[in-house]
Amino acid sequence: ENGTLPQYELAQEGIKQAHLAGDKFKKELEDANIPFERVRICYSPFARTAHTARVVASVLGLPFEGDQCKVVDDLRERYFGPSYELESHDRYPEIWALDEKNPFECPEGGESAADVVS
């Protein structure tokens, strides 16, 4: 499936951002006195979210292959279709206009807004 292959993992900038997010999350947990053992990281099956979860888990010292980290298939984002795949976010207004016109209409080869809600 699109987005689940290793080639779609984070780029170097994304890895850096995931480390920063992990550091911030770790500080917030420490400030709130929440033990890391209570943390659960749930992520979608997309390669970039799994990679992000793996980086954050490593910052927290959590085993990624343990009970505290879990892939949840229902946590996936909307697929806009092949003509939008790996394109700029600048094209989102096209989708939003289509959604406003008819939430049941799919972009070519993609999912409608109604598909994602259900």
Mean pLDDT (10-residue bins), the chain, 118 residues: 80 96 98 97 92 97 94 81 75 86 87 78
d(CA 1, CA 77): 13
What are the residue boundaries of the structural domains of the chain, listed by start? 6-71, 78-118
Does this model's pTM top 0.85?
Answer: no
C-alpha angle 61/63/57, rounded to 5°? 55
pLDDT at 102: 92
- Lookup: tokens for 89: 């976010």
Contact indicator for 51, 10 with CB cutoff of 8 Å: yes
